[in-house]
Structure 1
Amino acid sequence: MSYTFDVGDDTLWGPANSVARIFLGTVKTLSDEYRVPSGVGDDLMGMVEIDPVEFAAFVQRVLKERAASLHPYKNMLLDGVLPILIALADRGRMGVTGRTPEEHAYLAGVRARKLPMLAPAP
Structure 2
Amino acid sequence: MSYTFDIGDDTIWAPANSVARIFLGTVKTLSEEYHVPSGFGDDLMGMVEIDPTDFAEFVQRVLAERARSLHLYKSMMLDGILPILITLATRGRMAVTGRSPEESAYLEEVRSRELPMFASSE
TM range (shorter): over 0.9
Write the distance in 2 (CA, Å) between the matches of 1:63 and 1:10. 24
Write the distance in 2 (CA, Å) between the matches of 1:50 and 1:114. 21
The residue aligned with 2:64 is 64
Alignment of 1:1-122 (within 5 A): 1-117=1-117
Q: Secondary structure at the match of 2:117?
A: helix
Write the distance in 2 (CA, Å) between the matches of 1:117 and 1:57. 21
1:30-75 CA distances to partner (integer Å, 9 max, x unpaired)? 0000000000111000000000000000000000000010100000
Considering only aligned residues, what root-mean-square deviation do their CA atoms show, in Å? 1.5
Gaps of 5+ in 1: none
Moved over 6 A (4+): none
Corresponding letter in the other structure for 2:20? A
Q: Secondary structure at the match of 1:117?
A: coil
Write the distance in 2 (CA, Å) between the matches of 1:7 and 1:25. 20
TM-score (norm 2): 0.95
1:86-113 CA distances to partner (integer Å, 9 max, x unpaired)? 0000000110110100000000000011
1:2-22 CA distances to partner (integer Å, 9 max, x unpaired)? 000000000000000000000
CA drift at 1:117: 2.9
CA drift at 1:115: 1.1
Write the distance in 1 (CA, Å) between the matches of 2:12 and 2:79. 20
Relative contact order, higher structure (CA 8 A, sep 6+): 2
Write the distance in 2 (CA, Å) between the matches of 1:117 and 1:46. 17
TM-score (norm 1): 0.95
Percent identity over paired residues: 77
Corresponding letter in the other structure for 1:68? R
